[in-house]
Structure 1
C-alpha cells in the first residue's frame, strides 16, 4: 500500500503532497525524508528505510517523486507507477514542468486520483486517466 506521495524540487521545496492514509509522517519527518532522498550519494539507489515503511524515490528532471510504502508493496511497481505518472503528465501538459505542477495542482491531483485509490494502484491506462481531464478542458471552453 502507498501511504503518501510527495513531489519536491531540487532545493527540497514541496510542490505536492498526497496522503492515502491518515497523516503518517509529521512535518519534521517529512523534511527528513526529503533531505535523505535529495542527499543520496549512490545515484543507483532508489530506496530509503524510514520508521516502519520504505521510501521509494526517483528524480525526473528538476523534480523528485517520493512515495512511502508498506513492506508488502512492490518497490519496482511503485517506481513504474511514478514513471507512468510522469509520462501521463508529460502527455497532458506537453512536457510537464515544475511550473505546470505549481499552477495546475488540481489537474495533477486528478491524475494521481485516477491512478491511485486509497493507496492502491487502480488504473494504468493513459487514455483512461486523461479522459476526465480532457472532458473538463472541453467543458471550460
Structure 2
C-alpha cells in the first residue's frame, strides 16, 4: 500500500507547477481532487495547522515564498515525517538551483521530477540524503556539458 498518494506544487494563484501521483486516479477525479485540495489549502490562514483531513487522505502542506507544496498521504501516515520530507525536498531544490524559484520549477520540470524520483519511489520515502539525491542529476549535467 502506498503511503504517499500524490504531491502537488502550486503558486498562490492556484496554478499547478508540479504534480506527481503514486496511485492511479482517473483524470476526471484527479481534476476535481486538485481543485478541492488547492482551494482547501490556499484558503487556510498561516496560523492554522498544516495538516488537513480530506476524504480518504491526510493533506500535509507547506508554503515557501509564493509556492505551496501539498502532499496527500494515507490516513495512517506520520504527518510530521511528511512535513519534514517536504522541507527536505525544497532544501534539495534550493541546493541544486541555488535559491529555487517558481521559474526554476517551470523551466526545469524534468530535473525536479528526477529529484522527486530519487526521494520517493512508489509512494514510499527511499532517500533523504541531499548529496545522494543530487548525485544522478549532477552526473547528467556533466554528461550534457561534454
**TM-score (norm. length: structure 2):** 0.93
Count of equivalent residues: 141
Of the three residues 18, 21, 26, the one matched with 2:20 is 18
Q: For 1:111-130, list aligned pairs within 5 A.
A: 111-130=115-134
Within 2, Cα distance between the matches of 1:137 and 1:96?
A: 17
* Alpha-carbon offset, residue 47 of structure 1: 1.3
CA distance in 2, matches of 1:77, 1:4: 15
1:88 aligns with 2:92: yes
Aligned to 2:51: 47
For 2:123 and 2:32, the matched residues in 1 are separated by 22
Alpha-carbon distance between aligned partners in 2 of 1:59 and 1:138, rounded to the nearest angstrom = 32
> For residues 99 and 2 of structure 1, what CA distance do their matches in structure 2 show?
26
CA RMSD of aligned residues (A): 1.1
| Counterpart-to-counterpart distance in 1, 2:44 and 2:16 | 18
The equivalent of 2:82 in structure 1 is 78
Task: Report the Cα distance in structure 2 between the residues aligned to 1:40 and 1:14, rounded to whole angstroms.
Answer: 18
Which sections of structure 2, spanning at least 5 residues, go unmatched? none
Match of 1:133 in 2: 137
TM-score by length of 1: 0.96
Q: Which runs of 5+ in 1 are unaligned?
A: none
Alignment of 1:46-65 (within 5 A): 46-65=50-69
Within 2, Cα distance between the matches of 1:137 and 1:9? 27
Question: C-alpha displacement at 1:26, in angstroms?
Answer: 2.5
